[in-house]
């Protein structure tokens, strides 16, 4: 197993965990607002990756992974309850503050995360680390498509 970036350092995974808790009924506040903001940020990341000359494989991988962890939840939440409540906005802001606090407590910051993850998508430099879903996407691709 490669040197993966800790999953608790990825805000999208926090949002995904919130979505799972919401879906199974443990949490009542919808993460629709947070998921939409995450999707908007991902669109910006795709544009940045294209601008920086990332390989098509990595861009497609990023789009597929984020379509699964954000696109499907957005679709589900819009079908279930398409409104964004004030509580959802406050919960999103609270989660982001907790997330930043967690990063600081672990001697990490957003710049380091974007550098580690971004380098992995742009050029795969030695300073980059893969995320959990990126690693397993590559494993599945190698086993199913390349048949290694």
Any long-range contacts for 51-58 (C-beta under 8 Å, 24+ apart)? Answer: 52/118, 52/122, 53/122, 54/121, 54/122, 54/123, 58/120, 58/121, 58/122, 58/124
83 exposure class (CB count in 10 Å sphere: 0-12, 13-18, 19+): exposed
Between residues 69 and 138, the one the model is more confident about: 69
Q: How does residue 148 score in pLDDT terms, banded at 50, 70 and 90?
A: low
Q: What is the pTM of this model?
A: 0.85
Domain boundaries, the chain: 7-145
Between residues 52 and 21, the one the model is more confident about: 21
Residue 139 has, within 13 A of its CA and on its CB side, a CA count of 9
pLDDT tens by residue, 63-90 = 998 999 999 999 999 998 888 999 999 9
pLDDT at 134 over 50: yes
Is residue 68 within 8 A of residue 19, CB to CB? The reply is: no
Nearest partner of 8 among 103, 129, 93, judged by Cα: 103
Length of the chain: 148
Q: How does residue 16 score in pLDDT terms, banded at 50, 70 and 90?
A: very high
Nearest partner of 121 among 47, 39, 38, 15, judged by Cα: 47
In the prediction, which pLDDT does 126 show? 47
In whole angstroms, give the CA distance from residue 6 to residue 129. 9
Nearest partner of 88 among 19, 42, 20, judged by Cα: 19
In whole angstroms, give the CA distance from residue 15 to residue 92. 9
pLDDT tens by residue, 84-111 = 999 999 999 999 999 999 999 999 998 8
pLDDT at 30 over 50: yes
């Amino acid at each position: 197993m490669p040197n993966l970036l800790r999953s608790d350092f990825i805000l999208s995974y926090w949002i995904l965990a919130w979505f799972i808790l919401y879906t199974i009924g443990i949490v009542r506040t919808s993460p629709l607002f947070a998921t939409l903001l995450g999707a908007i940020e991902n669109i910006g990341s795709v544009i940045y990756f294209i601008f920086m000359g990332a390989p098509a494989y990595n861009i497609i991988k990023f789009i597929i992974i984020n379509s699964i962890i954000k696109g499907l939840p957005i679709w589900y939440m819009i079908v279930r309850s398409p409104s964004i409540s004030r509580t959802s906005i406050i919960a999103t802001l609270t989660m982001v503050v907790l997330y930043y606090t967690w990063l600081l407590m672990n001697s990490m910051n957003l710049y380091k995360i974007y550098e580690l993850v971004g380098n992995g998508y742009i050029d795969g430099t030695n300073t980059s680390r893969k995320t959990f879903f990126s690693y397993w996407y590559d494993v599945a691709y190698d086993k199913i498509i390349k048949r290694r």
